[in-house]
């Protein structure tokens, strides 16, 4: 079986297959096979066809020949035993057996020693009839190296964040702050809100109330729920402490709910500042067991006295806004509506 016949066989199948379309256009399968091969190699895909009866390659693209340092000859006629170490040959055979048993496309990763260097490959295999397997090779060595470097960097960041939080907790013992986030608690927030309402009423000025909620954890870290939630709360605490003025108040008012009072700030300015904070949080790296958590927040913004002039109404308006942000999918800042005809 030559390579063009092999690819043509792979094209065949149910009605609407590539083979059917080519025939309807009066195009030969061989020409299409050559076109497919010319597309694969520039994209780093090296094609091979192996005979299961002999274990030898009946076709190998030029890129695969170069990979195994066959500059003046071809892999055709060679077997894996001629090219690889014993353990590598066994790994190849196990996957090939799975391909023939499943009669389906199988993707596997292999690490081979070539030219004294360990290199990583992703190999996609598909059965061709009962006697041949077609494989597409793609090297992932550099990608693996980048992933390894990134993993080490994330582990270092995680250790640094843990150390910073331990030092913070030690320095804040007895301060009345929340142990996890480093922010003040609900009692301090309620007192500060009453003082801000009183001050703004007497001085005829406005202030903004922002409620912030953590969005649900990404699916890939759900199995680390407790530890991941801890890291997210610590991370949000760091962001709020770094992005609020001395005259503002940032507090933890629920299990995953935070509140920020922005003194002397109107609705438009509050929205701009919270949108900036949301964008900064998206770019923060918060790590748990080597995984980046991707901090995502929903925020509801209300203002006094334009949104509401009573404490309960102001809180209710901000809560409704945060629920709307969550309803839209999270990672958003939503303004509470200003009632028609409201007066400062």
What is the reported pLDDT for 291?
A: 85
| Nearest by Cα to 60 from 145, 155, 140, 135 | 135
Cα 208 from Cα 146, distance rounded (Å): 45
What is the rounded average pLDDT of the residues 166-175? 83
Cα 174 to its chain centre, rounded Å, is: 38
Please give the structure tokens belonging to residue 300. 């509801």
Q: Which of 160-174, 259-273, 325-339 has the lowest mean pLDDT?
A: 160-174
Could you tell me the pLDDT band of residue 90, with boundaries at 50, 70 and 90?
very high
The H-or-E segment that residue 115 falls in is none
In sequence order, the β-bridge partners of residue 57 are 50
Please give the structure tokens belonging to residue 197. 């309402």
Model confidence at 10: pLDDT above 80 = no
Could you tell me the pLDDT band of residue 164, with boundaries at 50, 70 and 90?
confident
What is the rounded average pLDDT of the residues 78-101? 94
Model confidence at 2: pLDDT above 60 = no
Q: Which of 192-196, 327-331, 340-344 has the lowest mean pLDDT?
A: 340-344
Query: 279-288: per-residue pLDDT in tens?
Result: 999 998 888 8
Cα 237 from Cα 227, distance rounded (Å): 15
Model confidence at 204: pLDDT above 70 = yes
Query: 124-148: per-residue pLDDT in tens?
Result: 999 988 899 999 999 999 999 898 8
What is the reported pLDDT for 208?
A: 96
Angle between helices 267-283 and 225-242 (to 10 degrees): 130
Is the Cβ–Cβ distance between 181 and 250 less than 8 Å? no
Model confidence at 233: pLDDT above 50 = yes
Cα 320 from Cα 272, distance rounded (Å): 19
Highest mean pLDDT among 28-32, 169-173, 224-228: 224-228
Count of alpha carbons within 13 angstroms of residue 270, beta-carbon side = 30
Could you tell me the pLDDT band of residue 119, with boundaries at 50, 70 and 90?
very high
| Nearest by Cα to 232 from 255, 244, 214 | 214
Higher pLDDT, 62 or 37: 62
């Amino acid at each position: 079986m030559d390579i063009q016949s092999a690819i043509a066989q792979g094209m065949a199948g149910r009605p609407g297959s590539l083979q059917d379309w080519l025939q309807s256009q009066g195009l030969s399968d061989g020409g299409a096979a050559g076109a497919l091969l010319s597309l694969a190699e520039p994209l780093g895909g090296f094609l091979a066809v192996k005979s299961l009866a002999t274990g030898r390659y009946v076709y190998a693209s030029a890129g695969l020949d170069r990979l195994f340092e066959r500059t003046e000859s071809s892999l055709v006629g060679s077997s894996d035993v001629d090219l690889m170490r014993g353990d590598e040959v066994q790994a190849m055979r196990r996957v090939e057996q799975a391909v023939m048993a499943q009669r389906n496309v199988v993707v596997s990763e292999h690490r081979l020693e070539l030219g004294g260097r360990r290199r990583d490959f992703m190999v996609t295999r598909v059965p061709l009839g009962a006697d041949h397997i077609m494989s597409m090779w793609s090297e992932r060595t550099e990608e693996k190296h980048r992933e390894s470097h990134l993993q080490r960097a994330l582990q270092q960041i995680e250790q640094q964040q843990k150390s910073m939080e331990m030092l913070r907790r030690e320095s804040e013992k007895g301060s009345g702050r929340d142990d996890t986030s480093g922010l003040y608690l609900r009692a301090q927030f309620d007192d500060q809100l009453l003082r801000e309402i009183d001050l703004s009423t007497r001085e005829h000025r406005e202030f903004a109330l922002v409620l912030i909620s953590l969005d649900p954890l990404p699916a890939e870290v759900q199995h680390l729920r407790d530890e991941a939630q801890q890291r997210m709360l610590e991370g949000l605490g760091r962001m709020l402490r770094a992005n609020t003025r001395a005259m503002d108040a940032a507090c933890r008012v629920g299990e995953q709910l935070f509140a920020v009072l922005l003194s002397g700030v109107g609705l438009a300015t509050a929205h701009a500042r919270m949108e900036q904070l949301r964008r900064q949080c998206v770019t923060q790296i918060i790590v748990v067991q080597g995984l980046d958590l991707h901090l995502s927040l929903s925020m509801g913004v209300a203002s006094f006295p334009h949104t509401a002039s009573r404490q309960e109404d102001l809180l209710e308006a901000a809560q409704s806004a945060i629920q709307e942000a969550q309803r839209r999918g999270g990672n958003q800042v939503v303004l509470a509506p200003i009632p028609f005809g409201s007066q400062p």
